[in-house]
Structure formats: structure tokens, C-alpha cells
Amino acid sequence: MTKYDCKFKLKAINFYKNNDVSLKETCKKFNIKSHSNLTYWINSYNFNGVEGLKLKANKKYSVEFKASVVNYYKTHEINPRDLAIIYNINPSQVYSWIKIFDLHGIDGLELSGKVGRPSMKKHKKNDKVVPLTDSERNKYINEIINLKSKLYNTEMENDIIKKRIALEMKKDIFPKHHK
């Protein structure tokens, strides 16, 4: 998704307001992907001024704030995009909180910063290897031997079944002729 800066948004809004053009024409002129984006910017600007057009990166919200946004959504018949304008937050954030609340309740909102795709940061490996005792080592060796034995038996059973199916198919394809 393309991020538009505040100056760009203001330029597009002013062009739309000061000229007798449609949303579609304004979007075409400024190469804005969707006229719903422009509509959102206009409404946000009308409600919050220039502050409503600024990008809010990595802002942390309290559980109480998230709960009040979700509660407002649940108690009023309002579109999440319009709710985002009222609270001056990103609409995708509102959608996310509503979804999390519906799935996990208020506790989900508390953890919502930790929900989702894991971090791409490389984690340092714990290089400390704890040696196994002889009894633990023997236990693991016995378990491996048992699992290998079960795997071998299962593979043999599968081979027998496959061979039988192949023979039956061969009989069906080449039936013996009776004289």
C-alpha cells in the first residue's frame, strides 16, 4: 500500500475543493488508487484539520482507549472508517481492534500488540548446550530405535498394500481368456 504524506493529501483536497471536479478526476490527476482514500482524507481533514492527515507511526494505545473505541463502535451505528476519523486513528487499526475484541474479548485488546505476524528480527541462539546424562541418552536412543522400528513396519505394510493393488489392477487390465 502506498503511503501518502500530509502535503500530498492537502494538495489533493485543495484541488478537489477549489475546482469543479469529481473525486474520480482528482484521483486520476494525483494518481490516487481509490477515491475512498480521498473521501476519507477530506472527512478526516474536515473533522480534525491538518492533524487528521498526518501519519501516525507505531503509536501505542492503552487497553482503555482501545476498549472505548470498540465500545463506541458497538453502541453506535457507525462505520469503522468514520469512527477512525472521530478518534483520529488509522481505520485499519479500528478494524483490527474490533476483530480482536470479537475473537478474544477485552483480554485480546491487552495483547493486541503481540498478536499477528512474528517479528523479522533475528533471534540470538542460546549456545549453551546442556549435556545429557547417561540415563537420558539411553532413554532417547531407545525411543529412536522404537520409532525407527515402527516406521520400518509401516513402510513394509504400505509396500505390501501397493503391490496387492498393482496385482489386482494387472488382473483387471489383462483378464485370462477362457476357452
Q: What is the pLDDT of residues 110-128, one digit of tens each?
A: 865 555 566 677 766 666 7
Q: How far apart are CA 27 and CA 158, in angstroms?
A: 62
- 11 pLDDT band (50/70/90 cuts)? very high
Domain match, 48 and 72 both? no
- 156 pLDDT band (50/70/90 cuts)? very high
Domain of 108, in residue numbers? 59-112
Q: Residue 160: inside a domain, yes or no?
A: yes
Q: Residue 123: inside a domain, yes or no?
A: no
* Range of weakest confidence among 115-119, 136-140, 146-150, 156-160: 115-119
Q: Residue 144: inside a domain, yes or no?
A: yes
Domain match, 40 and 89 both? no
- 158 pLDDT band (50/70/90 cuts)? very high
- List, in order, residues 6 or more apart from 2 with CB less than 8 Å away: 33
Domain match, 51 and 97 both? no
- List, in order, residues 6 or more apart from 151 with CB less than 8 Å away: none
Higher-pLDDT residue of 66, 56:
66
Listed residues 55, 76, 93: the one ending a domain: 55
- pLDDT for 143: 92
Q: Residue 67: inside a domain, yes or no?
A: yes
Domain match, 29 and 74 both? no
Domain match, 69 and 51 both? no
Q: For 38-67, what is the mean pLDDT?
A: 83
Per the listing, cell 504400505 goes with 158
Domain match, 70 and 46 both? no
Domain match, 108 and 78 both? yes
pLDDT at 153 over 90: yes
Q: For 23-33, what is the mean pLDDT?
A: 90
- 1 pLDDT band (50/70/90 cuts)? very low
Residue type, 52: G
Domain match, 139 and 172 both? yes
Taking only Cα atoms into account, the Rg of the chain, rounded to an integer number of angstroms, comes to: 32
Q: Residue 106: inside a domain, yes or no?
A: yes
Domain match, 65 and 44 both? no
pLDDT at 151 over 80: yes
Q: For 125-149, what is the mean pLDDT?
A: 86
The number of domains in the chain is 3
Q: Which three cell numbers mark 69?
A: 473505541
Domain match, 48 and 78 both? no
> Mean pLDDT across the chain, nearest whole number?
84
- Sign of dihedral through CA atoms 18, 20, 24, 28? negative
Domain match, 42 and 11 both? yes
Per the listing, cell 487390465 goes with 173
